[in-house]
Structure 1
Amino acid sequence: MYNLLKKVILCSVVLLLMVIPNISLAKSSVNVEKISHNLMTSEQGDTYLHIEINTNREVKNFSIQENPNNKYQLIFNIEDAQISNISRQEKLDGNIAKKVFLQEKKDTVQGKIYLQEEVNNNYKIYSLGKKGIAIDIFNSVVNTPVASDVALSNVKNKIITIDPGHGGSDSGAVGPNGYTEKEGTFAISQKVASILNQSGAKVVMTRDSDVDVYGPNASARNELQARVDVGNNANSDIFVSIHCNAFVNPAANGTQTFYYGSSYQGQRLAQSIQEKMIEANGLRDRGISTCNFYVVKHSYMPAVLIETAFITNYDEEALLSDDEWQTTMAKAIAEGINEYFSN
């Protein structure tokens, strides 16, 4: 009888141990598996930061609010969740927000988004179904349209590819104070696109955020061809690549525009843009020159590569990182494009 009782108790324990893991699995939490972001444009032409928090299943309970103790932060919570084996910090676009940081608090994943400006209540959070959740943030730095002082009637209905040089794993040249070429080119390119869009042009960007166009760790040829493909596949009327110049001697300075040697239309486009930029910025006029740069040579349409200023020059690095100067250059480039289409 005693042995029979022992067997009954032992079987009961084994059954209980088998059931407990199943109960645990049934109540397993959502796993946060990836953070990604893009700069996007709404139907009204507003640019906003789109952040996706990708999970292994649908998120049922989530929320977002301003940090009451920090006016430059948004805090979002995903309940019944945990973080997978991923980086808990993601660098964002730099114009609207700097970074997002994840942490676990009991059964909740909490994220902090560090903004460039004070929270302006212009944000939203919503479900992506089984993909997770998304957060959209509008910000006046990028969201405010850049108006040109000149009516750009000639660009209406033109397809224009704007190529912000470098990006993603390729920072481009770096200034003495740490400002990167990819930051400067993207800021100016976004403003050029805003002006042209307002004037009725159809602008195609080779990249809409800080990413490699072809993909991480691509060869230089593949990356450059991916940019060319954007313009060629869109049947663009022109291709404009925007860069910052660099040289070992920090005294090097000025603005220059390149075109492919056998392209008369490319030469016209380069001349129009160069003249407008020099009128606007007052820097040394390095003129226009022929080149064999890949994106200029392999584009099917007239193409130019602009060297806005020298990022390795202390004074010009400061200009390149200045929002007002970026706007001045963007207007000049857009007006140069408009001048090209006038003939």
Structure 2
Amino acid sequence: MSRDETPVSFDEIRALLRELPGPDLEAAQLAEERQAQLTKPAGSLGRLEEIATWLAAWQARARPQLERPRVAVFAGNHGIAAKGVSAYPSEVTAQMVQNFISGGAAVNQLSGLAEADLRVYEMALDRPTADISEGPAMEEEACARAMAYGMMAVESGFDVMALGEMGIANTTSGAALCLALFGGAAEDWVGRGTGLDDARMATKASLVARAVEVNKAALDDPLQVLRCLGGQEIAAIAGAIIAARLARTPVLLDGFVCTAAAAVVQALDPKAIDHCLVAHRSAEQAHARLCEKIGKPPLLDLGMRLGEASGAALAILLAKAAVACHNGMASFSDAGVSGPAGD
């Protein structure tokens, strides 16, 4: 069924949230026990150990695998781009999608290096969302349909999903989502995006504050926050996160905008993004604050702020390193190495 033909509502989304499976605690326990037996001091591989156990819990395998990773990039346009909140015009979204298809973007190189299946999903680029500073971005049906489209991107058989986005002005939408969900001042959530100067930063902050104020009466529920302030690609990411949870597929989140989509899902259910890790800390100034709010410290901090799932694709390599150590290292007994004193 095509995206335009899919009947879906927020009630159906909420019903799915009541069916979310939890982690496989037995697999996680077995993975932790194996970590304790490997030829290294306890905890000496740091977050690599955490990643291995996390993958075990959600793949339901004491020895996780990363033979079939997928990278999914969702692209959408935003009506508020016409207000000058980006250094680039909206046409760049479609142009970058073509660059993805041609293999010329950073995410193509990183996905290839990680041996990941890269898919790009266009979200009606010729029909941008409405200007959020003047009213809701989408009607409920359109938002729910975008979420359903994101859900359809999650197929069985993949070991991990790396999620990302492309969309001129979507950091403005992400900032508005965060302001509505977590409060504070607009300036707390607004960053330079594609490279704004101070004057445009001030305009962006003013428009984010206005967007939340204009839509305030409808912001009584996280899905309504997404409908009023989000974008089609952000809604699709939220849908993909939910579908990945239903499929027990672990998820690597990219930067600020992708994490904002995850924050909406967490606001619906505090445990709904337990299967997600934040791949990297974006240089977008609000991302660190957002990661603290959702309780997920990023895996990497390389000063990146490109989007397009570049950080999430890079983190697949980190996850592969975690799996290689977890599965391939010898135990103390196997290697004939003395364990910690007292063992």
TM-score range, shorter chain: under 0.3
Greater gyration radius: 1
After TM superposition, the score normalised by the length of structure 1 is 0.25
Higher relative contact order (CA 8 A, sep 6+): 2
Relative to its length, the structure with more helix (as a share) is 2
TM-score (norm 2): 0.25
